[in-house]
Structure 1
Amino acid sequence: MKERIRLQHVENFIKKHQLLSSAKTVVVGVSGGPDSLALLHFLWKRSAMYSIEVVAASFNHKLRGEESAHELAITEKFCAERNIPFDGGEADVAAYQKENNLSLQTAARTCRYDFFERVMKKHKSNVLALAHHGDDQVETMLMRMTRGSEGYSIAGIPVKRPFAEGEIIRPFLGITKAEIEHYCKVEDLYPVYDPSNESEKYVRNRFRKKVLPFLKQENPNVHERFQYLSETITEDEAYILHQAEIELEKVLIVKTEGKIELSVSAFNNMPIPLQKRGITLILNYLYKLNPSSLSSVHKENFLSLLGSEHPSGFLHFPSGLFVSRTYDRCTLSFEPVNSEEPSYEFSMDLPGIAEVPIGILTAEITDCEPASIRGKDVFVFSPNDVSLPLRVRNRRPGDRMAIAGVGTRKLKDIFIDAKVAQEERKVWPVVVNANGDIIWLPGLKHTGRKSFNHSEQWVILHFQKNRHDV
């Protein structure tokens, strides 16, 4: 009775998550162990009910010599006795690991999944069924939480996910290892057992042997609670990521291949959960495939940099990603930092219009009374009071400016007080007279101006800074 109820539980799980709704041919990854053998048998017996054809795919990693080959042969025989189509494959995983400088588990997984994809293409299948179960889910979620994973990762093993030209499904996530073992016994299945599953040198095996029994003692159905938590996290994360995408677009100033620039204040105004997902989205965009050395620590350092009261700072991320904050600008880029100061200088026509890297300068000549015109973006003078022609340039080392009632000040100090970003300081326009004296720092400071009440002509300079607000 218990077995029948649990089989119904699996069928309900498949129906709830629509795991076979679009399937015609299902490739089942089979190692010969109890989990995968039970899954193959379960789907094969119900192939008519689900209107599917089942294909077995078994891969020899060549890590345990004749033992591995023997297990593949046993699986092939199992399929032959039931007329289940069978595809076997093998690869020297140890050699592949060494050649590509991977961990053994990563190398094995890569080779195995490449094989599964080939089998799916061969049989025109859009579904790969794998036998991960409820105990695997508990172990995976606990392992990831312990090592500090976040987001989708702590949801553990997904019920289904895109793979190749179809998807991977996991119909057994709602039942336990013990229930699978019981199924094998009831159905007279004789699986093989991998001795490495008993070794406590593997992290997963330590969780399986030491942590899982305690949880099951507290709640025999703990796997159901973890599966519910996994699905809840997945749903919540999808919604929060969608919101983060919407808000992130509002704070980005520059978004190009290999470079992101954003407004620090706007980013900090986002809710904390959206900030955390925002940096994840940014890194995913820049890296395409995140390096293994990238961790939650890097994201925490990024959020600390943007939240700091200090107006500037730098971070070095893996694979040469450079993070730079200057006041309200933060740039993430793979481009090398250019320490050379850009340079420009030209004469300003009166009247005339000139473009500078951060905006536009306009010069007008008028005989109307301009006394009411005020503001740092405007500079009014009489040609009788200023040595012409005017020149416009960017800053030079040692630049100082005379300011009425203050004396002279370094341009560097004026930029700092005005919180001008480092990159903008390099190209900010500086207006000088024919003698080279700085008379105006557009948008920031004027030099002392003489009275122009008796002048017959006046010059009005306007500065319009480029706006990057999104």
Structure 2
Amino acid sequence: MLPLPQRVVEYIRAHSLLRAGEGVAVAVSGGADSVALLRILLELRNELGIVISVAHFHHGIRGADADADEAFVAGLASAHDLKLHLDRGEARVRAGKSNISLETAARQLRQGFFAQILQEHKANCVATAHTLDDQAETVLMKALRGAGSRGLSGIFPEHRCVAGRIVRPLLEVRREQLREYLRAQKQEWREDASNLDLSFARNRVRTRALPMLRDEVNPSVEHALAHVAEIARAEEQYWNDQITRLLPLVIVPGEPARGGGRKQTRSEGIAIDIQKLYQQPLAVQRRLLRAAAEKLGCGMEFEQVQAVLHLIAQRAERGAQNKIVELGAGWRVRLLFRELRFEVAEQKESSTGYALPLHIPGEVRVAALGTTIRARISEDNGKAKNASYNPHSVRLPEIAELVVRNWRAGDRFRPARHNSEKRVKELLYPLHLSEEEKRLWPVVAAGDRIVWVRSIDSPELRTETGERLSIEESAE
């Protein structure tokens, strides 16, 4: 087998990731993967003709550990006489202000940091240390959530953005190979304790699901999943080319005019001819609908696509039938006689969000909902001490109170009898809620983890001391 740096340079050249003369900001968290990426690119910089700098972002989450990570990366950059790009953010503050999960807020801050580096021309591209193991975990999680070929494409070797590129040179390298490389180099790295936290779905996939599949199904499961991503990427490229060609053929300009014909308007939106859409195979219909939404900057989940197709199939019915599918982000799809219209949703006056402390035991009135939510310690519950994570019981962290709040984009929840987390957005869709109901739908959070969602079966909850906890809601 070729030495690791040589394998990486061949991958870089095969995918045209780096070019001579380019400035490359290596994203270094301090963990083994990113430190190995930096050391490998340092070995290759003369051969590739690149100029290397180091980028590190402090998310303001892990306190002293994150401070130590920052100091470690700064020392690493200094030891190799590299320019260091440092920035900090407050992920918790952003999550609260933007009504999103902490994980989503941290990712947005980090991506904004990379974009700033590129926009200010401090580098031509940012290199991140995603590995073959990361690819396998991503593909498996996407498959378990019912993704199509786009989701199964996993992590792309290159992502182009307005100001530059994000490149991933290590997608064919195993995580353990990077650690072996660092040990041979006598290079230290930092360990992130959160990688062992089994409350995160990715950590459970990494430490439980994949080892089980490796031992009992396929010893090369990670490589097999990476092959799935490679196949799906090629197919997705084919479909993108086809849909780019077909979409203009089904879009109709303007809006229907009274008395026949069409009138040109300045209003935002896209109309699709239903008859032309139905002339296409089902797979193409689905992709055309998603492409139309994306043209407006709005995404469509599978359930929303199916709901729109159901509207079309039932369009002969009259009366009280709903003719609208809400897409969120201020957009909706409205069924007309001969067309589907993607348009701006009607603006309705809405209540503000909420976040209320809930003591254990205790209760809190949620005025926005007209209900009371209480946390109650069940009697005669056995007090199983130090119970580890299992599919039927969730151990809460040692905290004095919970938080009752409206759900946020990016929130995830593991319902009862499920072995993996799902997006709350996906769980709410079958309930057919109005936009206002959905926006104010309550969840209960323990720290950064959602432990209860209204109308969704929750797993058994236990406090840090092993007592069984019940969360209940009652109308006023």
TM range (shorter): 0.5 to 0.7
Per the alignment, residue 323 of structure 1 pairs with 333
Would you say the 8 A contact 2:327–2:333 is kept in 1? no
Tell me by how many angstroms 1:162 deviates. 0.9
Rg larger in structure: 1
Corresponding residue of 1:235: 234
Equivalent position amino acid for 1:139 in 2:
E
Picking from 269, 275, 279, the partner of 1:265 is 275
Structure 2 distance, partners of 1:102, 1:22, is 40
* Shift in alpha-carbon separation, 1:327–1:212, aligned structure 2, 3 A: same
- Find the aligned partners of 1:321 and 1:34 in 2 and give their Cα distance: 43
Q: How many residues align?
A: 331
| Distance of 2:124 and 2:72 partners within structure 1 | 26
Change (3 A) 1:220 1:76: farther
- The equivalent of 1:245 in structure 2 is 244
1:304 aligns with 2:310: yes
2-side partners of 1:105 and 1:23: how far apart? 35
The within-5 A match list for 1:9-408 is 9-21=7-19, 24-122=22-120, 124-217=122-215, 218-254=217-253, 257-286=267-296, 288-290=297-299, 294-308=300-314, 310=316, 314-319=323-328, 320-334=330-344
Alpha-carbon contact 1:27-1:125 (below 8 Å) kept: yes
Give unmatched runs, 5+ long, in structure 2: 255-265, 348-476
CA RMSD of aligned residues (A): 2.3
Aligned residue identity for 1:305? L
Residue 124 of structure 1 and its aligned partner are, at CA, apart by 3.5
Cα distance change of structure 1 residues 166 and 149 upon mapping to structure 2, 3 Å threshold = same
What SS class does the counterpart of residue 156 from structure 1 fall into? coil
Distance 1:147 1:72 in 2: 35
Q: Is the 8 A contact 2:5 2:43 kept in 1?
A: no
**Could you give the per-residue CA deviations for residues 282-340 of structure 1, whole angstroms, max 9, x where no partner exists?**
11123x143xxx52100111122223473565133133544333443333322659xxx
The residue type paired with residue 328 of structure 1 is R
> Distance in 1 between the 2:187 and 2:31 partners?
10
Q: CA distance change for structure 1 residues 234 and 63 in 2, over 3 Å: closer, same or farther?
A: same
Work out the CA distance in 2 between the residues paired with 1:76 and 1:173: 26
Within 2, Cα distance between the matches of 1:332 and 1:121?
Answer: 33
Equivalent-residue separation in structure 1 for 2:302 and 2:246 (angstroms) = 21
Q: Give the superposition deviation at 1:151.
A: 4.1
Q: Is the 8 A contact 2:56 2:85 kept in 1?
A: yes
CA distance in 1, matches of 2:279, 2:133: 41
In structure 1, give the amino acid aligned to 2:245. I
Cα contact 2:213–2:221 (8 A) shared by 1: yes
Partner SS state of residue 301, structure 1: helix
Checking the alignment, whether the CA contact within 8 Å between 1:37 and 1:191 is kept in structure 2 is: yes
| TM-score for the superposition, normalised by structure 2 | 0.65
Give the AA of the match of 2:65.
E
Gaps of 5+ in 1: 338-470
Change (3 A) 1:219 1:7: farther
* Residues 1:257 and 1:87: Cα distance change in structure 2 (over 3 Å): same
Of 155-164 and 322-331, deviating more is: 322-331
- SS for the counterpart of 1:132 is coil
Contact preservation (8 Å) 1:28, 1:128: yes
Asked whether the equivalents of residues 311 and 325 of structure 1 are also in contact (C-alpha less than 8 Å), the reply is no
Q: How many Å separate the matches in 2 of 1:311 and 1:267? A: 19
Closer/same/farther in 2, CA of residues 210 and 304 from structure 1, 3 Å limit:
same
**Equivalent pair of 2:308/2:325 in contact (CA under 8 Å):** no
Alpha-carbon distance in structure 2 between the residues aligned to 1:249 and 1:289: 18
Q: Which amino acid aligns with 1:295?
A: E
Distance 1:53 1:322 in 2: 47
1:39-88 deviations in Å (ceiling 9; x for gaps): 01100111101001110111111211121111111111122112122222
1:129–1:170 CA contact under 8 A, matched in 2:
yes
SS in 1 for 2:243: helix
C-alpha distance in structure 2 between counterparts of 1:157 and 1:23, whole Å: 26
The answer on whether the counterparts of 1:323 and 1:331 sit within 8 Å (CA) in structure 2 is yes
Structure 1 pair 12/328, CA: closer, same or farther in 2 (3 Å)? same
- Asked if 2 retains the 8 angstrom alpha-carbon contact of 1:174 and 1:223, the reply is no
SS of aligned partner of 1:283:
helix
CA distance, structure 2, for counterparts of residue 327 and residue 289 of structure 1: 24
* Residue type of the alignment partner of 1:272: L
Q: Which amino acid aligns with 1:265?
A: Q
Instruction: Tell whether the 8 Å contact from 2:25 to 2:52 is kept in structure 1 after alignment.
Output: yes
**Aligned equivalents of 1:215 and 1:257: distance in 2?**
52
3-state DSSP of counterpart to 2:310: helix
Closer, same or farther: CA 307–241 of 1 in aligned 2, 3 Å:
farther
CA contact (8 A) 1:139 1:208 kept: yes
